[in-house]
Amino acid sequence: MTPGLYDMIRTTDQTGVSGTGRVAQMAIFEDGSAVVRWMTGKDSTVCWANYQDALDVHINLHPETTKLVEVMSPCLVCGYEGAEKEKAEKEKEEAEKRSSLCDSERWAALRQEEKLLSQSVYDYCASRRLRYEEHDSHGTYFDVWIVGQKFMFDCSPEDQPRPYPNGLVVVRNSTHHYDNPTRVGAANMLTAEGPAMMDDILGVTPV
């Protein structure tokens, strides 16, 4: 027999215990086990490791008077579960599409911000006559020399565990290991006050 839910129907009560009509329900599972739920006024539930043993005891001993009638086939169950699974997968796919779109839009905005920040560093170094080298490794940063000391100007906030607020260039003392606490300061270089903020951080006097 296939897994499913069955009604146990008896036309004659040979023992005088179970009665007639629908006397029990039997559920057969995919692993071959079964549960019989008696509905005779003295209700009980019996678990069987092998559904065939339940059939031998309750059906095959009374083949003329007892039979099983299928109530719910596994197709109905699987059909319901399949529809629910398909719905969940569709919702997940839609959520991933929305997330991907948000990520791409956020990435484009961050790259545009990085370009603006890089230009602000170019302008700052030129106006202060500072020597610099640009690098593009996991984002844009600059090595800048000030009175023989090298600093790193980090223009790529998306690489940080906690993204910096818009417009910040983070200055680090000669390293870009983010777990190394060598940060000197940060200036909002997309504002008119940005260069002056950077002067204060680095102790630079405008020429």
* All structural domains of the chain with their residue ranges: 4-72, 111-202
Residue 185 bridge partners (DSSP):
171
Q: pLDDT tens across 127-162, in order?
A: 999 888 888 766 778 888 888 888 888 876 544 544
pLDDT of residue 80: 53
pTM, full prediction: 0.45
DSSP H helical segments within the chain, as ranges?
51-58, 74-128, 194-202
pLDDT of residue 30: 85
Q: pLDDT tens across 66-112, in order?
A: 888 888 665 555 555 556 677 778 878 777 766 665 667 777 777 78
Distance CA 82, CA 27 (A): 20
